């Protein structure tokens, strides 16, 4: 009986000692499963073509600004862009023109800033020949390459950059920083990963980096309150 008791205690001690390793192994497998899922996604063959189908140009007769048509689960299809060069009064009075796919120019139904996100949006009557990008909350991975595009002289021009880090601005907006040099025409352009997930829109750029405002599913909620 004494031997059986010792063996029983030995197995209990061994089991208790193995629990941390088992938990770590489960966590490791789960993390790699998620990583492999992103790695094994259906990667885009021509990112520029994927972006082009939802790309728009906003024109106030003085400057051109890029934008992207997105699909929000609650508020439908909206154009998302950077707000830095937009006049809020002009947005609300529908004084901007929006060019879509180089085919036609339309007037938005309404526009406004998105609180604390350095972005603005427009409501439009969406033509059938453009497709919105789904709105998501995808976070970039360190060193991951992302793609953006704009329209210059009637042609789609693509650019790529590598994710560096993220910072939080004074207004609470989470901004992702990418290495690379872009022109002012890219401001407001969408940025996607290799799987076509929308990571954000460009809100600032320089000769060494560009910054994109992060997204989340509730991004438009305060704008429509």
- 44-88 pLDDT, tens per residue? 778 888 898 899 999 876 678 999 999 888 888 899 999 999 999
Q: Give the Cα-Cα-Cα angle 165, 167, 171 (nearest 5 degrees).
A: 160
Q: What pLDDT shows up at residue 27?
A: 43
109: DSSP letter: S
Q: Structure tokens of 171?
A: 């207004």
Residue 144 DSSP label: -
**Percentage of residues in the chain having pLDDT higher than 70:** 79
Question: In the 3-class helix/strand/coil scheme, how is 154-201 assigned residue by residue?
Answer: CEEEEEEEEEEEEEECCCCCEEEEEECCCCHHHCCCEEECCCCCEEEE
| Mean pLDDT score across all residues of the chain | 81
Q: What is the C-alpha separation between 152 and 172, in angstroms, rounded?
A: 33
pTM score above 0.85: no
Q: What pLDDT is attached to residue 16?
A: 55
CATH code for the structural domain at 43-225: 2.40.10.120
């Amino acid at each position: 009986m004494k031997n059986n008791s010792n063996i029983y205690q030995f197995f209990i001690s061994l089991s208790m000692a193995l629990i941390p390793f088992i938990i770590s192994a489960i966590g490791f497998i789960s993390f790699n499963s998620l990583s492999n899922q992103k790695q094994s996604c259906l990667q885009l063959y021509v990112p520029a073509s994927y972006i082009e189908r939802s790309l728009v140009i906003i024109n106030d007769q003085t400057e051109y600004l890029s934008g992207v048509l997105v699909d929000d689960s609650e508020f439908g299809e909206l154009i998302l862009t950077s707000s830095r060069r937009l006049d809020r009064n002009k947005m609300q009075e529908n004084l901007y023109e929006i060019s879509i796919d180089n085919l036609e120019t339309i007037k938005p139904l309404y526009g406004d800033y998105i609180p604390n996100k350095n972005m603005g949006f427009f409501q439009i009557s969406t033509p059938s020949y453009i497709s919105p990008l789904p709105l998501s909350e995808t976070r970039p991975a360190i060193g991951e390459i992302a793609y953006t595009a704009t329209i210059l002289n009637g042609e789609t021009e693509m650019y790529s950059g590598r994710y560096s880090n993220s910072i939080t601005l004074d207004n609470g907006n989470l901004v992702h920083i990418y290495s690379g040099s872009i022109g002012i025409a890219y401001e407001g352009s969408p940025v996607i990963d290799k799987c076509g997930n929308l990571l954000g829109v460009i809100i600032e750029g320089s000769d060494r980096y560009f910054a994109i405002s992060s997204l989340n599913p509730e991004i438009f909620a305060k704008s429509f309150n």
